[in-house]
């Protein structure tokens, strides 16, 4: 089993009277691509800054390779950070921006040349050595920032929403490149984003956060297919979340009908949240359906249609399908037991 490189144990961070993090416990393994995912203000950037040493915890401890580094300053940690604003040195060219940390270490010129050359190759910027960083595109500037962080050979690279300023096409290209870099280098990446697609496409492990607390930790597949609560289900992709009653194991009522499901461990007649992903709802003949409704809207999204189907109980079901029925048509909606996800109600 891969050993942990970073651990946060009971970590809280309070700014004035605002709780940014509350009793966080998190273990990050060596050579892992971990993404902290959540809405603005959930504590993900604070977590990154605590790991990087830019903030100190109010309570709890931070461990690096088995040693408590809670009070170790950032420059003494084997961690480097790439910020959303790349903070390149505008008076230095590409080569000198990347070489800056090596010169601080007073390495000899041949070693610097070798290391910078390796980084330029890694980020596909060979031939850009003498370029003014102000003349580079946003994507190229980001590559310089990543190379500058990696050239010092950190054990952990922290990335604070580094793709946010890029357009969609370039952002997707950089997602693949970052993942390939991480695999090639074999170091730990801790990545912060509020973009669900970014988190799912890049990560080995996703940490979903809300209001300074971890809601769920798991693989992208686990987070998407088996959310632990309504917040995770609603934040990761699109979901239909409706009220239900768990009559017994593997049997749930919602939408005015009774359905078989695969969930167990609930009380009889326990109120629950029922989650159904829009791509799991299938258009079927009305006479075969337990769920029926009238198509309120249809939007073509390229690979599928997005429909809203209004049921008699007032629920507007979001449906993603390669098939389409016109607005005003009454349709049936079918779904398999394994596509019904049952979650405990969260007390307010």
Query: What are the tens digits of pLDDT across the range 108-117?
Result: 999 999 999 9
Report how far residue 145's alpha carbon sits from residue 51's, in angstroms, rounded to the nearest whole number.
Answer: 19
CB atoms within 10 A of CB 66: 9
- According to the model, what pLDDT value does residue 71 have? 93
Tokens of 281: 């709802």
Does 85 have pLDDT greater than 80?
A: no
Which residues are 132's β-sheet partners?
A: 93
Which residues are 192's β-sheet partners?
A: 36, 160
Query: What are the tens digits of pLDDT across the range 226-245?
Result: 999 989 998 998 899 999 99
- According to the model, what pLDDT value does residue 173 have? 85
- According to the model, what pLDDT value does residue 67 have? 96
Integer distance in angstroms from the first to the last C-alpha of the chain?
Answer: 38
- According to the model, what pLDDT value does residue 170 have? 82
Query: Is residue 171 very low, low, confident or very high in pLDDT (cuts 50, 70, 90)?
Result: confident
Average pLDDT for 200-218? 97
- According to the model, what pLDDT value does residue 164 have? 83
Of 306, 311, 302, 303, the C-alpha closest to 324 is 306
CB atoms within 10 A of CB 91: 10
Which residues are 321's β-sheet partners?
A: 305
- According to the model, what pLDDT value does residue 162 have? 86
Contact 331, 283 (CB under 8 A): yes
Q: 1-10, 43-52, 258-267, 310-319: which has the minimum mean pLDDT?
A: 1-10
Query: What are the tens digits of pLDDT across the range 90-113?
Result: 999 999 999 999 999 999 999 999
Report how far residue 282's alpha carbon sits from residue 31's, in angstroms, rounded to the nearest whole number.
Answer: 40
pTM value is 0.89
Which 3 state secondary structure label does DSSP give 237?
A: coil
Query: What are the tens digits of pLDDT across the range 259-270?
Result: 999 999 999 999
Report how far residue 99's alpha carbon sits from residue 92's, in angstroms, rounded to the nearest whole number.
Answer: 10
Report how far residue 38's alpha carbon sits from residue 232's, in angstroms, rounded to the nearest whole number.
Answer: 9
pLDDT top residue among 230 and 295: 295
Query: What are the tens digits of pLDDT across the range 47-72?
Result: 999 999 999 999 999 999 999 999 99
Beta strands (DSSP E) in the chain are 4-15, 18-29, 33-37, 59-64, 67-68, 79-82, 156-160, 188-193, 205-210, 213-218, 240-248, 251-254, 257-260, 270-276, 282-284, 291-300, 305-311, 316-321, 330-334, 341-344
Query: Is residue 250 very low, low, confident or very high in pLDDT (cuts 50, 70, 90)?
Result: very high
Q: 22-26, 101-105, 258-262, 314-318: which has the minimum mean pLDDT?
A: 101-105
Query: What are the tens digits of pLDDT across the range 135-160?
Result: 998 889 988 999 999 999 999 999 99
Q: Which helix (H) or strand (E) holds 323?
A: none
User: What sign does the dihedral 280-283-287-288 (CA atoms) show?
Assistant: negative
């Amino acid at each position: 089993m891969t050993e942990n490189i970073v651990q946060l144990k009971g970590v809280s961070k309070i700014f004035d009277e605002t709780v940014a993090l509350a009793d966080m416990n998190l273990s990050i393994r060596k050579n892992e691509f971990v993404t902290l995912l959540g809405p603005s203000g959930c504590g993900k950037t604070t977590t990154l800054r605590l790991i990087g040493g830019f903030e100190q915890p109010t309570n709890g401890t931070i461990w690096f390779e088995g040693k408590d580094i809670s009070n170790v300053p950032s420059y003494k940690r084997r961690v480097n950070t790439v910020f959303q604003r790349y903070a390149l040195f505008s008076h230095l060219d590409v080569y000198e921006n990347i070489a800056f940390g090596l010169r601080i270490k007073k390495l000899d010129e041949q070693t610097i040349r070798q290391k910078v050359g390796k980084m330029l190759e890694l980020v596909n910027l060979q031939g850009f050595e003498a370029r003014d960083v102000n003349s580079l595109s946003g994507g190229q500037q980001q590559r310089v920032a990543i190379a500058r962080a990696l050239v010092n050979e950190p054990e952990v690279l922290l990335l604070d929403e580094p793709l946010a300023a890029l357009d969609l096409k370039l952002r997707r290209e950089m997602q693949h490149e970052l993942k390939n870099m991480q695999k090639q280098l074999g170091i730990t990446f801790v990545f912060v984003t509020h973009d669900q697609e970014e988190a799912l496409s890049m990560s080995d492990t996703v940490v979903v956060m809300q209001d300074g607390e971890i809601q769920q930790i798991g693989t992208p597949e686990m987070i998407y297919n088996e959310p632990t609560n309504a917040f995770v289900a609603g934040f990761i992709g699109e979901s239909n979340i409706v009220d239900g009653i768990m009559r017994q194991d593997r049997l749930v009522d919602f939408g005015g009908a009774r359905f078989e499901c695969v969930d167990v461990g609930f009380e009889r007649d326990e109120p629950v949240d029922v989650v159904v992903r829009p791509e799991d709802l299938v258009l079927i003949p009305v006479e075969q359906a337990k769920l029926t409704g009238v198509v309120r809207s249809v939007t073509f999204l390229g690979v599928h249609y997005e429909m809203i189907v209004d049921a008699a109980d007032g629920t507007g079901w979001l449906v993603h399908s390669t098939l389409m029925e016109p607005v005003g048509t009454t349709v049936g909606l079918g779904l398999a037991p394994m596509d019904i996800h049952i979650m405990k109600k969260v007390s307010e």
